[in-house]
Structure 1
Amino acid sequence: MGTQVDPGIGNGPARVRGDQWHLDYLRVPAAHRLSEGQGVVVAVPDTGVEPHPDLRRNLLAGEDVIPGGTGNGQSDTNSHGTGMAGLIAAHGQPKNLGALGVAPLAKILPILDTPPDGLGQPDDLAASIEFAVARHADIISVSAASMPTPRLQAAVRAAVQANIIVVAAAGNSPRESVVSYPASEPGVVAVGGVDRTGNHADFSVSGPEVDVVAPAVDIYSTSTNGRYRRSSGTSDATAIVAGAAALIRSKYPNLPAVEVAHRLTATAVDKGPPGRDDQYGYGVIDLVAALTADVPPLGFESTGVTAPAPTAAAPDAGGDNSTARGLATLSALLAAGGAYLVWRRRRRADDPPPRISR
């Protein structure tokens, strides 16, 4: 799901680290002093993940749910999946060479569900998510736009019920005009994108479902054949947020998935109009704050906060659609054994085809 892709740039290991502007923007080096994602497994259903030199130590044996691969998810003739995996968990090379992921000690569970043209089937994505649930992944990073078929909806909801953090791309215009599925599913962390200045990326789809945003323009990562790629899109932002979730889950291993998501949204840097809005959601993720802030736990009893009446006009209300989304998310999280997010820390700083697109 990239608006601009160069899957085989000539940048070698000595240069690519400096090209990864999002690392300094998100204060990744400071975050790594607190957590590097150790002990966390992130499933990446995509075009497969090649064992790139900057990534191979963190690559598990996965699965092919479509033909044409090596049987373990570790082949990729497109570069999309390898790029997303690198953004999450590339370990780089000695002397600060090579690409670095947000969570360089996390493990990647690669799943091949999309052919080289980047257009897959929703039920193949569903099969990927089912596999990730069966393998007890901690996080599922879905950099794809799809149709909500019954099987796919059931798979996503099962993942949420299984205490797995599901992170998904909001989508890119003009291909998508509304927040895509599964990002639009209550309980899923829906991710939009910002540019180098922290402003809304013009291709990033807006909507009441957007939860957080992350860098999405000129993002450098691993590619096929030991090379590197540069791309722009909410796919990249999604992988970055999945890496952020891995850092949190590693540092706080007993936190339920809904609380991990809560830390991401509660500590995000507010952008746009004060409070939640349809372009930025709750804001740009802040890795250090998400790992260190004193965020009260979820649950009305534990926070002592009374749930507002549904008709109350909250300061961060985004319109009727946002209210409906919030109520639906409340129901989903309660069903998953959690509760709705009741605390936020604010800081300023055409019908789709029945396929998935990447």
Structure 2
Amino acid sequence: MVTAPAPTPARADPPICRNPSDPGEMNIETPWHQRWLAPQRVWPFSTGARVKVAVIDSGTDSTHPQMAGRVATGFDALRGAPGGDVDCVSHGTAVASIIAAGQMEGVGFYGLAPGATIVPIRVSERNANDRAATGGDTVTGEVFARAIRRAVDEGAKVINMSVTLYYWDEDVEQAVKYAVDRDVVLVAAAGNQHQDGARPDPVPYPADFDGVIGVGAVDQNGARIRQSQIGPYVDVVAPGGAVVAATRVFGHSVWDGTSFAAPMVSATAALIRSAEPNLSAKEVTRRILATADPARGDAEAGYGGGVVNPYRAVTERLTTASPVAQPPLPDVPYDAAAVARAERWAVFGRWALWIGLPLAVLAVGVAVLAALLPRGRRTRWQPTRPSTPPAPTPELDEPEEAFFRVPTSTPRR
């Protein structure tokens, strides 16, 4: 049995940030994840208008220039009072900006669904990506469950959960069922504690609950980032390595982790729900998974069903009808002039072969004759033979003068 949410108390004083974060620097270039997903292609069909996306996180800074007018008051689940539009660590602001940040002159970064409205639900004063962070209140199962229910009651049609619990909690599971029963698309980070094979990755919640889209993270090469977890709770992956997003106060920073891949999928859900408001949450989820692009690995390698593709998710339609056969390709029309022209070129080619070959032989003969003619003139066209070498001189015992001695005549008898 679902219990009714507690009445909302009057808004208390806003919290004082005990560990404020660096406001970062202004981003000028277009981040890689926006060049990859190319949200401008989707905007002629949908910008996420009239869709509320709840961001359960550290809050969202509504004073950031790119978030102004796009952030509702929301709810502070830590204090049990309205006012989720305050962020002490920038984590929630970064997540919300990936979804709905507006375009700004001179700034390359902007959100995927700038027409959506962010409903910030504040559950933590720590950076959920920083394991060594200390100080400040953080989420518990009770607070998390309260945040989910509040997001549903605030009218959110998509809930992004980039804060991860590493233990099962009954209150959170019941809150997830509460949202699923009310036709809300739930998206959660798959966690950043991959163990590199040393031991199984810890199970992340609420990503492991039924009805929740678990999101892993890839880098600009399409490879799973090292810390992105592997398990059956990873349904799809999205850019999450070195992505640019807004920081509190004013500026931008580079972020890593599944926390920043999840809002890419939440923004895609908002785009679909804006374009086709009659689709159920299950149909939206099915559309996102069915239109994912192929990844570098399969589900067992932490890639789920592939890489989210907002354009395909919005523009492609799913159907249960039988495939429709396309008509056969038409016959190529007969072109008499083209046939005649081809025949003329064929004849010309044959003549060129028969004429060119003898000419080539003649040219070779002329070249050989030109090389031999000077030599023939020098020899007067007579054959030349090598000269006979002189006979060797015999060795004589007599002196050399004996060689020239005149023999005496034989006496007559």
TM-score normalised according to structure 2 size: 0.66
Query: Is contact 1:129–1:155 with CA below 8 Å preserved after alignment?
Result: yes
Secondary structure, counterpart of 1:235 in structure 2: coil
- Any idea what the Cα deviations from partners look like across 1:96-115, whole Å, max 9, x if unmatched? 63631110000000111112
Query: Which amino acid letter does the alignment assign opposite residue 160 of structure 2?
Result: S
Residues 217 and 188 of structure 1, relative CA distance in 2, 3 Å threshold = same
Residues 82 and 136 of structure 1, relative CA distance in 2, 3 Å threshold = same
Distance (Å, rounded) in 1 between the aligned partners of 2:163 and 2:82: 22
Q: Displacement, 1:58?
A: 0.6
Residues 174 and 209 of structure 1, relative CA distance in 2, 3 Å threshold = closer
Structure 1: runs of 5 or more not aligned: 1-6, 297-301, 306-358
Distance (Å, rounded) in 2 between the aligned partners of 1:278 and 1:185: 20
Secondary structure, counterpart of 1:236 in structure 2: coil
Residue 152 of structure 1 pairs with residue 175 of structure 2? no
Counterpart among 66, 91, 95 of residue 80 in structure 1 = 91
Residues 116 and 71 of structure 1, relative CA distance in 2, 3 Å threshold = farther
Query: Is contact 2:53–2:156 with CA below 8 Å preserved after alignment?
Result: yes
Specify the alignment match of 2:235 in structure 1. Answer: 211
Q: Which has the larger radius of gyration?
A: 2
Structure 2: runs of 5 or more not aligned: 1-20, 129-137, 324-413
Query: Is contact 2:23–2:250 with CA below 8 Å preserved after alignment?
Result: no
Query: Is contact 1:195–1:215 with CA below 8 Å preserved after alignment?
Result: yes
Q: Displacement, 1:150?
A: 1.1
- Any idea what the Cα deviations from partners look like across 1:120-174, whole Å, max 9, x if unmatched? 2121111110101112210000002113211111001111111000000110124
Query: Is contact 1:83–1:222 with CA below 8 Å preserved after alignment?
Result: yes
Residues 9 and 77 of structure 1, relative CA distance in 2, 3 Å threshold = closer
- Any idea what the Cα deviations from partners look like across 1:303-356, whole Å, max 9, x if unmatched? 579xxxxxxxxxxxxxxxxxxxxxxxxxxxxxxxxxxxxxxxxxxxxxxxxxxx
Counterpart among 258, 269, 281 of residue 257 in structure 1 = 281
Specify the alignment match of 2:145 in structure 1. Answer: 126
Secondary structure, counterpart of 1:225 in structure 2: coil
Counterparts of 1:339-350 in structure 2 under 5 Å?
A: none
Specify the alignment match of 1:106 in structure 2. Answer: 116
Distance (Å, rounded) in 2 between the aligned partners of 1:70 and 1:81: 18
Residue 45 of structure 1 pairs with residue 59 of structure 2? no
Specify the alignment match of 1:290 in structure 2. Answer: 313
Q: Displacement, 1:19?
A: 4.5
Distance (Å, rounded) in 2 between the aligned partners of 1:90 and 1:223: 11
Query: Is contact 2:194–2:226 with CA below 8 Å preserved after alignment?
Result: no
Counterpart among 140, 165, 168 of residue 159 in structure 2 = 140
Query: Which amino acid letter does the alignment assign opposite residue 23 of structure 1?
Result: Q
Q: Displacement, 1:278?
A: 4.5
- Any idea what the Cα deviations from partners look like across 1:197-242, whole Å, max 9, x if unmatched? 1111111101112111000011111111112121100000001110
Distance (Å, rounded) in 1 between the aligned partners of 2:183 and 2:302: 27
Distance (Å, rounded) in 2 between the aligned partners of 1:126 and 1:303: 40
Query: Is contact 1:210–1:278 with CA below 8 Å preserved after alignment?
Result: no
Query: Which amino acid letter does the alignment assign opposite residue 316 of structure 2?
Result: A
Residues 262 and 42 of structure 1, relative CA distance in 2, 3 Å threshold = same
Query: Is contact 1:139–1:245 with CA below 8 Å preserved after alignment?
Result: yes
Counterparts of 1:1-358 in structure 2 under 5 Å?
A: 8=22, 10-13=24-27, 15=28, 18-51=29-62, 52-67=64-79, 71-93=82-104, 95=105, 97=107, 99-116=109-126, 118=128, 119-146=138-165, 147-174=167-194, 177-273=201-297, 276-296=299-319, 302-303=320-321
What's the C-alpha RMSD, in Å, of the aligned pairs?
2.2
Aligned length: 289
- Any idea what the Cα deviations from partners look like across 1:269-311, whole Å, max 9, x if unmatched? 12245x6544111100111111111312xxxxx5579xxxxxx
Identity of counterpart residues, as a percentage?
34
Distance (Å, rounded) in 2 between the aligned partners of 1:227 and 1:75: 16
Secondary structure, counterpart of 1:159 in structure 2: helix
* Higher RCO (C-alpha 8 Å, min separation 6): 1
Query: Is contact 1:44–1:111 with CA below 8 Å preserved after alignment?
Result: yes
Distance (Å, rounded) in 2 between the aligned partners of 1:192 and 1:199: 11
Query: Which amino acid letter does the alignment assign opposite residue 77 of structure 2?
Result: V
